[in-house]
Amino acid sequence: GFSVLMLSSTLLDRNKLRLESLPHLQSLSNLTGERTNAGILHRNKVLYLAGVEKPSLPTIYSRFGKTAPAHCCSLGKAMLAHLPVSDVKTFLSVEPLLAQTPNSITQVDKLLEDLEATRQRGYATDIREHMVNSCCIAAPIFDGHDRPVGAIGISGKEIEPIMVHVDTLLRAAELISHGLHQA
């Protein structure tokens, strides 16, 4: 029952990635006027560790515990793009790539192309791939061995308004990565 909440809050309060991300998520949300999120890959999905609502809504550090298919959300694609291709193929072989919307990528070869483009530009996009009324961009967070350990992202109704903040998103992800190395 509710006893699991005490365990989960203790885990979240000690999670370095979450703690390093929260101030940056808040700043990004204030700057962009949009929702921001942080997540990790867990059990073949993206597991949300934190989220900050857009400033026009009450400030809520939420979203922890929710999951999303990694192949069709920007957080997942940002992390998958920086894994070795053999790891990605193993990851993708566990479950079929199910469509969440008409824009979801459901073919492995097309997803691998998208992940290569993501790796080249340094950030991932989700243009109504996970939810029909949502567009997102995300940047990976790296450990000291240049392996992706998480990602942060910005979500909005349209892609153009959030794309103007790509450089700020990349810088925030870089700062979080650096903070994790120092911790």
Contact predicate 5/28, CB 8 Å? no
Q: How confident is the model at residue 122 (pLDDT cuts 50, 70, 90)?
A: very high
Whether residue 58 is predicted with pLDDT greater than 70 in this model: the reply is no
The stretch 30-41 carries a mean pLDDT of 96
Maximum average pLDDT range among 14-18, 78-82, 91-95: 78-82
For position 60, what pLDDT does the model report?
A: 46
Q: What is the pTM of this model?
A: 0.92
Binned at pLDDT 50, 70 and 90, residue 171 comes out as: very high
Side chain identity at residue 16, one-letter code: K
CB 115 within 8 A of CB 91: no
141 has a pLDDT exceeding 50: yes
pLDDT at 15 over 90: no
Give the Cα separation of 82 and 120 in Å (integer): 10
Spatial contact of 101 and 131, defined as CB atoms under 8 Å apart: yes
Q: With pLDDT > 90 as the criterion, what percentage of the chain qualifies?
A: 80
Mean of per-residue pLDDT scores for the chain: 91
User: Where would I find the H helices in the chain?
Assistant: 3-14, 16-32, 74-80, 85-93, 108-121, 159-163, 166-182
Q: Is the pLDDT of residue 64 over 80?
A: no
CA distances from 110 to 103, 106, 129, 148 (A): 12, 8, 13, 21
Helical segments of 94-165, H only: 108-121, 159-163
Instruction: State yes or no: pLDDT of 62 exceeds 60.
Output: no
Residue 4 has pLDDT above 80, yes or no: no
Please give the backbone phi and psi of residue 85, each rounded to the nearest 5 degrees, phi first: -55, -35
Mean pLDDT of 161-170: 98
pLDDT at 183: 63
Mean pLDDT in residue range 53-63: 62
